[in-house]
Structure formats: structure tokens, C-alpha cells
Structure 1
Amino acid sequence: MMIFRPGQRETAVWIHLPGQAEPVVCGRVALRQLGPNAASDYVYGRSYLARSDAIPLLPHDLPLERGVHAARRGLHGVLRDAAPDAWGRRVLLYRLRMSESRADSELTEIDYLQAARQRVGALHFQPGVDRLEINEPMDTPDLETLARAARAVETQAPLDPELAAALLHGTSIGGARPKVLVCHNAKPCIAKFSSTTDQHPMVRLEALALDLARRCGLEVPGHERLDVAGRDALLVERFDVDTTGEHHTRHHFFSALTALKLDEMEARYASYVDLADYLRRFGASPVEQCHELFSRMVFNILIGNTDDHARNHALFWGGDTVRLTPAYDLCVMPRVGGESTQAMEVGSEGKRSSLSNALSKCGRFGLDRLQAETICRDMIDTITDTWADAASHAELPTALSRHLMRRSVLAESVLVDF
């Protein structure tokens, strides 16, 4: 087992090439400087460049060329996508504090990349190039144990070091909520747990959103809601892993934020329309993909999901074309007040959450006005007709179900002028 030592400045990058079970070294990333102004360089390995099946890490950037690929700030987007977000960093800091390791301020972006021995996506990171250590989901403790461990991290309670290490299996997943990678019924899954800070049953609301999306014809991963150790849990099947017998193959993907050449400081500039332009340029079946993206945008508006930022959209990349991954991190968001805004720009009225705004630039998604209106009306009808059944299936409290309808879901401000 590799010993984690904070303060790392460089790491080897490994990749699962399309259809290949065993990863290969594709390059190395190194920090040029540390601190708040840290930036990095990426270099492809010569042996990787010599492979006939090598793929660039991105279709529009990091071409398969010798030499240094310099990131203007932080890590290249495709590498930052593989690093932990809020929850993963919280778990790592918790583990370091429990072990009385170095100060938090000494952690680098390379440390965060190397922290997880089990990851989503096709990329892996560790210092050496001889052998890659990967822990499969089968190696993790049971869900109840992990749920209690996640609660301990949230409350800063003492935790057995082995359990703290097990939680690192979730650190490569984006987002702020407690989660971990597991294997359930022989399927690799992401397990999401309710949080001590939840004011609403957020796990059930996410399960509800995924169910509604499926009923509306959107592509979503398989999922199941469970009660685990007295708290809600949502198991979401991973779309980045194919399992055949004992062999696992991985799908490489990156976020819409990376596709749009933006970073966290620029996320507010992300646009659905710009993402549609990207799909037309690089996508497989671009017409179909743009229609799917439009439908996802409309769905987010209709259910009040305003957390649709560019890291909550992703694209598969196999070396030839890109395509949207299944939709994920959907949630019916309880809210009060009148108009709301989406996290990404929608149309001519910016981020305003309304169908009229969504329709304003439907042509950029390859749709005429009638086609776009039909998508909206069909989705409204489906949500209206299936809401009660979907809410009941998610075991949403009746009072909350009634409160959400017409306030967050199919809100008047969303439907005005439609």
C-alpha cells in the first residue's frame, strides 16, 4: 500500500485506453510553483506518443505532441476534473488531521490527485511508472459502515484509520455531498448519503429527479434509493466502468467546464448554447446530441434544478468524437420567491429560468421553434401526469410534494410567456 506524503509537486498520469483493461502511463504533470497562484505543466511520455492507439486527453487541447503543455492557471481542466471537489478534500483533510500529519496548507493539487486509489473516469495518478495500485469497489466495507464513517467526517468524530482510508474511495467524485465508490449487486456504483446539514430530504429529491428525467425520455444512469444505518442513501450506477467477468474497462470523460475552456474562476460564463456549439464541432451524432442537451436544459428549468453548473455536465471522449454522458447530479430544488436563475446561461435573457428564454436560441440546438415547443410541452405533460407517482415512489412527504409542485416544479415564473 502506497504511503501518502503531503507536499508532492509532480505525478505520473495513467490512462485506461478505450477497450483496454490495463492502464498505461500517458505522461506526467508537475507544478511550476506552489500557493494560490500555482500553475502546472503536462508532458506526454515518449512511449505513449509512440503507441498507435494513443489518444489525446482532450479533443481540442493537449494534442499528441512532444514538449510542455503549460496550464495558464492551476491544472489543465481534464486533470482538474479528476481531482476532488469539496467532499473529497474534506475527507482528505480529515484523514490528515486524525493522523496528525502535516498542516493543511502544505497540501498541493498533486496531493489531491494522488489521494484516491479508486477513481471515476479513465485517469489515475501516482508517483511511480512501474505499477499502478488500484483498489476495486469490492474492497470497500459495507454501506452501513461507510455511512457511519461519512457521518463521522461531517461531525469531526474519531474514526478508525482503515475506515478513514476507505472513504478516500469517494474523493475523486465531484460535489460537496457525502459519497463513496462501492460495488452493489455486482455493479460499480456511487453511494450518496444524506448530510447532517440537510434541511430537506435531498437524497430523495435527487432520486425523484432521476426518475422524472427517465420518464421524460432523458438518458440517466440506473439508480436505487435505500435506507442505510438510519439515513437515506442513493446508489447510482457508474457510467464510466464496463464490467465483464473479472475485467473492468473505463470510459474517459471530462466536464463541460473543461470543454468550454473555463476554470472555476470563469464558471459563471458557461453557456448551454456554447456547449451545443461544442457538440456540433466534436460530437458523434451532433444533431441528436444537441437535441438531448436542449431537453436536459428544459428539464432542469422545469423541475427547478438550479445547480446545473458546467461540472454537472460531462462528455465521453474515446479519441474520435465526444458524446454526452448520462445526466447526473439532478435534483428537485426547494425554493421560495419568484423568478430564479440557472447556473449556466440559457438564452437571450441570460440565466433566467424560463421556457421563453430556453426557446430564444433553440436554433443553436438544431431545432426550429415548433420542434422546441413540442419538447417543452411533452415534458410538461409528462411531469404533470407522473409527478404524484414519482413522488410517492421516492417516498417524499406528501406536504413537501404539494409544496414543490408549482413553486419549484412547473413554477409560474418558468411558464410565463410560454
Structure 2
Amino acid sequence: MITSSPLYVYLQRPDTGQWVTVGRYSLDASGQLGRFLYAPSYLEAGFGWSIDPVNLPLIAGNPINATRYGGLHDVLRDACPDSWGRLLIQREHGLGDTAHSSAYLLLASNADRWGALAIGKSPKPSIAKLSTPKLAQLPELSEELLAMYERRPAVNPQLRRRLMATPSMGGARPKVTVQDGNAYWLVKPVLPSDTVDIPLLEHVVQRWGKAAGLNFAHTEHESAGSGSGLSVVRSLRFDRSGDQRIMAVSGASLLQTEYPGAAGSASWSYPVLATVLRQIGAPLEDSIELFSRMVFNAVIGNDDDHPRNHAIHYSHEQRRWRLTPAFDVVPNPDFTPSHLALQVCFGDRSISTQNILRDAQSFGFESQDHAKQHLETLLNDIEAGYEVVESMFTEGLRSLMGARLNEGIRRLRVDYSP
């Protein structure tokens, strides 16, 4: 069968930082079946790093097929730009809405690409091209934000384009990666359509999660001028450390489901994700952490906890995959959800104490009694964490989240005694 010209997949090694060719991807003539083959040189070198521990095991000789995402393997879809990045590529390169995801994968800038993979047409990676991507620096961001606040022309036009949303961009949320020494930050500004200050809400909730003892990504919040409306959150990226990129795989890939795509939502499940974590060698503390995040989302009303808002990354020091810090944890500001995006127990997304505890052993708890004890302690920690961050909210957000906390805690303590 006729296939497309191959694309080569490169990996930055987690031990030395050297770029190596991992394998080859091709798409058949139907445009619906993809094939990935690990490079013999990669396998013969004895590298033990599967780029996707669930869907792409280290197998020699035979290609591994993919049918999801129009034939793009899950971890390669992870490396594709999100909806905002796709719209920028469409504008720059004139791609149509029907372009295959592999086209976006090839055209995406390696500067802010997610994870440790890169794509090219050459069997060998171009080290110079991969190793020195140009990113805006944190001082440039601050200068551009000030210019936006003062309604001055762009200081850095490319950065301004990535920070500004226009009606023609389809409503996707703008974002950009900036660098500050060895740290990399994902920056997201407020949108005119936001009903509340979403960047501030995300920042304080991330701090709230940390104050409650959970592993949440570090964020910072910036605004320019009192009442200016210019509000920006930046989140520390977990897949970068200086020049070293870190392998990462989304929860959607681990669950072998598509996102976006309602057809796959039946398999979106916290208990299943916790089971997969243990199957790939993550420690028990990670599946317990996932349980705690599920409860936190239920309490604060974050129903945007879809599979791409969960992920794992590879720890070279520990020689295993670990749950990443929590990111994109943003409560629904318009109403209190009764369901989460992921099932809290097998087959049910609705928020209740019974559902949260039903499949507790899938998370690694010895019994439901142990899970109940953990839940009660966690609810106390969430309440205490709110007291730490309460003053960081504006008056309106404080009123919203105080009521949300009380309602969420009450809901999970109804008919329940530890």
C-alpha cells in the first residue's frame, strides 16, 4: 500500500541530552492508518526508553499501527500544537481545516513544543536546529505587557501576536512560552470574553492546591495597573529544565482515548488512569495523589479535568514515569458542576461521596475505610489551604470560591462519618 513520505521522530536523551533518532512515522494512502517503527539503531543501542509506555512498547521489526487521531500515534498527537497553536500555524502557512495532524506536527516550532520529541524529514536530527530555539525572555514579556497596558505599539510583534486574541482566531485561548534563565513558563492572558479574571483564578487555585499539600505546578500572576483588566498567569513547565527536555505523555494517551472527541469519553476515568499509573511503574503515592486531585476538583467545581489536563513525565533520576504536577486547574466560574469530565468511579462522572469511595482500591487504598480516612484528612487540608490563599482573591472571586468551598465540602460530607 502506498504511504506518505516518512517523518522521523527524534528524542533528546534523558541521560546525556543528546538528540537521537527514535523511529519513523508514515501515513497510508487512506489517510487514516499510521505506522511507527522504532529505528534499529535505537533498539540496538540498548536505550530502554519507550516514548509511550502504553501504546509504543519497545518492539523490533514490526511497525505499530495507529487509528486514533486519523492515524497519528497518541504520543505524537501529544507533541502537536494545541488549538491555539494550530490556528497560528493555519494563519502562517495557510493550512486548511482538513489538514492532517501530522502536517501541524511537522510545522510546529520546536521552541515551545511539549515533551522531549521532535519531528523532521531527515533520518538524522539537525542538532543545531533542535538545540537552539529562540524564545522570548521574561523581561521581554514584562515589557510587552506594559506596552499593552499603555496601549502602545508592540515592542515584540511576534510575542504580541501570541498574546492577543482576535475574533478570527476562533476563540482559542492564547498562550506563549517564555524563558527565565533555566526556567520555562507557559503564559496565558485574560480574554475579553472571560466572565471573571481567569488568570488570577487559576493562579490562586494552583497555590491553593499546594497549600493543601498536593503536587501542583508553580504559578505566578501579573497585572498592569489597578483596574486595567490586563491579567496574566504564568505556569512553570514541568517538561523543561534548562536545555534538557523531559519526556511527557498525556492522560489521553495513557487512557488510549481521543481528546477532543466525545466518542472516547466513555473511557475517561480516574480509576482507570490510576490503574495505568501503577501498571507503568509509577509509585503508589502517584495514584493516591490522583485520587486527591479528583477530590480537589470535585470540591472546587473544576469540570475541565479532561484527559489532556493530566500527564506523566519521565524521571531519569528514578528511572521511571511519574505523575506530573497538576496544571490547568480552573474552577467553572459560571455554575457549580455536578459532574467531572473524568469518571470518579467506573461508569459514573457524578460527584458524590459514594462514587468517590466506590473504586478506592483502584487507587491503591487497602480498603474503603483507609480511603475514608484519607478523604476526611484531605477535606480538612483543603479547608485549611483556602485560609492560606483567601486574601489573594479579589472580593468577587473570594465570594465565589468561599461559597464553592462550603458547598463542595458539604456535598462530600453528607451522610458520611470517618
TM-score, structure 1 normalization: 0.82
Amino acid at match of 1:83: C
Amino acid at match of 2:370: Q
Amino acid at match of 1:214: K
| Corresponding residue number in structure 1 for 2:194 | 198
| Corresponding residue number in structure 1 for 2:167 | none
Shift of 1:137: 6.8
- Find the residue that maps to 2:178 and give its secondary structure: strand
Q: Summarize the alignment of residues 17-416 of structure 1 with structure 2, pairs less than 5 Å apart.
A: 17-33=13-29, 38-64=32-58, 65-73=60-68, 74=70, 75-96=72-93, 102-105=94-97, 107-114=99-106, 115-118=108-111, 119-128=113-122, 129-132=124-127, 133-134=129-130, 139-140=135-136, 142-144=140-142, 163=158, 167=162, 176-184=172-180, 186-227=182-223, 231-243=230-242, 248-264=243-259, 265=261, 266-285=264-283, 287-317=284-314, 321-336=320-335, 340-347=338-345, 350-367=348-365, 368-393=367-392, 396-407=393-404, 410-411=407-408, 412-416=410-414
Q: Is the 8 A contact 1:253 1:316 kept in 2?
A: yes
Shift of 1:121: 0.8
Residue 267 to residue 84, structure 1, CA distance change in 2 (3 Å): farther
> Any unmatched runs of 5+ in structure 2?
164-170
TM-score, structure 2 normalization: 0.82
Count residues with an aligned counterpart.
384
Q: Is the 8 A contact 2:315 2:322 kept in 1?
A: no
Amino acid at match of 1:43: L
| Corresponding residue number in structure 1 for 2:166 | none
CA distance in 2, matches of 1:403, 1:53: 51
Identical-residue share of aligned pairs (%): 29
Cα offsets for 1:67-126 (capped at 9, x unmatched):
322112321111111112211112222333xxxxx4524633122112212122110112
> Any unmatched runs of 5+ in structure 1?
1-7, 97-101, 152-157, 169-174
Q: Is the 8 A contact 1:19 1:249 kept in 2?
A: no
Residue 80 to residue 149, structure 1, CA distance change in 2 (3 Å): farther
CA distance in 1, matches of 2:10, 2:352: 43
Residue 202 to residue 33, structure 1, CA distance change in 2 (3 Å): farther
CA distance in 1, matches of 2:390, 2:132: 34
Shift of 1:166: 8.1
CA distance in 1, matches of 2:272, 2:87: 32
CA distance in 1, matches of 2:219, 2:403: 26
RMSD: 3.1
CA distance in 2, matches of 1:149, 1:10: 44
